[in-house]
Structure 1
Amino acid sequence: MDWKPYAERLAASVTPAVSRWREPVASTPRHVFVPRWWDLDQRALREGSADEAAWLHAAYSDTSLVTRIGALHADSASPADRPTGVPTSSSTLPSLVVRMLRHGHLYDGADLFVVGAGSGYTTAVAAQRLGDKHVVAGDVDPYLTEVAMDRLDSIGLTPQVVTCDATTEIPGEFDRIVSMVALPNLAAVLAALRPGGRLVTTLARVPIIVTADKGDDGTARGVVEWDRAGFMSTRSGAELPPDLRESFTAVRDREGEAVSQGRYPVLNVSAAWDVRAMLELSVPGVEAHYEEQGVQRTAWLVHADGSWARASATRLEPPTVHQGGPRRLWQVLERIRNRLNAEGGLPLYGSHVHITPDGVCHFSRGKWSASFG
Structure 2
Amino acid sequence: MASEPGIETAAAGLRRQLADLLEKDRRLLSPQWRAAVESVPRHAFIPRFYREGDAPGVTAWEPVTPEGVGQEEWLRLVYSDETWMTQFDGQDVDWTDPKPISNAAPTSSSTLPSLVVRMLEDLDVHEGMNVLEIGTGTGYSTALMCHRLGDENVTSIETDEGVARRARKALTTCGYHPRLLVGDGRAGYLDGARYDRLIATCGFRNIPPAWLEQVLPGGVILTTLRGWLRSLGLVKLTLTRDSASGWFSEDGPSFMIARQQDAPESFGMVPDPEDGTTRKATYGPDVLTSSGPGFLAQLAAPDARFFSMPVEGGAISTFVLDSVTDSFAVLAPTDNGWQVRQGGPRRLWDAVESSVAIWEEYGSPSTAAFGVTASRDAQVVWLGNPNGPQWPLPS
Query: What is the TM-score when the length of structure 2 is the normalising length?
Result: 0.78
Counterpart code for 2:43: H
Distance 1:330 1:113, change over 3 A: same
Q: Which residue matches 1:47? A: 64
Shift of 1:112: 1.1
Question: Which residue of structure 2 lines up, in the alignment, with residue 33 of structure 1?
Answer: 45
1:19 to 27, 30, 43: 30
Greater gyration radius: 2
Any idea what the Cα deviations from partners look like across 1:45-70, whole Å, max 9, x if unmatched? 41322213442343222222222221
Q: CA deviation at 1:186?
A: 2.0
What stretches of structure 1 of length at least 5 have no aligned partner?
none
Distance 1:302 1:66, change over 3 A: farther
Amino acid at match of 1:43: A
Which moved further from structure 2: 195-204 or 326-335? 326-335
Percent of counterpart pairs with the same letter? 26
Decide whether the 8 Å contact of 1:35 with 1:48 is kept in 2.
yes
What's the offset of the Cα at 1:151?
0.6
Corresponding residue number in structure 2 for 1:278? 296
Distance 1:23 1:193 in 2: 27
| Cα distance between partner residues in 2 of 1:43 and 1:259 | 40
Instruction: Write out aligned runs for 1:205-284 (5 A).
Output: 205=227, 206-215=231-240, 217-236=241-260, 241-242=262-263, 247=267, 251=270, 257-258=276-277, 261-264=280-283, 266-267=285-286, 269-270=288-289, 272=291, 274-284=292-302
Match of 1:161 among 180, 205, 213: 180
Aligned partners of 1:247 and 1:19: how far apart in 2?
Answer: 46
CA distance in 2, matches of 1:263, 1:19: 48
1:308 aligns with 2:358: no
Quickly say closer, same or farther: Cα 1:339–1:356, change in 2 above 3 A.
closer
Aligned amino acid, residue 9 of structure 1:
Q
> For residues 270 and 8 of structure 1, what CA distance do their matches in structure 2 show?
38
Counterpart Cα distance in 1 of 2:81 and 2:272: 39
- Residues 1-373 of structure 1 mapped to structure 2, 5 A cutoff: 1=7, 2-15=10-23, 16=26, 18-20=29-31, 21-40=33-52, 42-49=59-66, 50-51=68-69, 52-74=71-93, 78-80=97-99, 82=101, 84-171=103-190, 172-173=192-193, 174-184=195-205, 185-205=207-227, 206-215=231-240, 217-236=241-260, 241-242=262-263, 247=267, 251=270, 257-258=276-277, 261-264=280-283, 266-267=285-286, 269-270=288-289, 272=291, 274-289=292-307, 299-304=318-323, 305-311=325-331, 318-319=337-338, 321=340, 323=342, 325-345=344-364, 349-357=368-376, 360-364=378-382, 365=385, 366-372=387-393, 373=395
Deviation at 1:223, TM superposition (A): 2.9
- AA partner of residue 30 (structure 2): S
1:88 counterpart SS class: strand
Whole-angstrom CA distance in 2 between matches of 1:229 and 1:25: 20
- Give me the whole-angstrom Cα distance separating, in 1, the residues matched to 2:306 and 2:238: 33
Quick check: 2:287–2:293 contact (8 Å CA) kept in 1? Answer: no
Structure 2 residue ranges without an equivalent (≥5): 1-6, 54-58, 310-314
Q: Partner amino acid for 1:195?
A: P
| Matched position secondary structure for 1:231 | coil
By how many angstroms is 1:139 displaced?
0.9
SS in 2 for 1:110: coil
TM-score if structure 1 supplies the norm length?
0.82
Cα displacement (A) at 1:261: 4.7
Give the Cα–Cα distance (whole angstroms) in 1 for the partners of residues 80 and 246 of structure 2.
32
Contact conserved, 2:245 with 2:374, CA < 8 A, in 1? yes
Letter aligned with residue 370 of structure 1? W
Question: For the Cα contact (< 8 Å) 1:70–1:83, is it kept in 2?
Answer: no
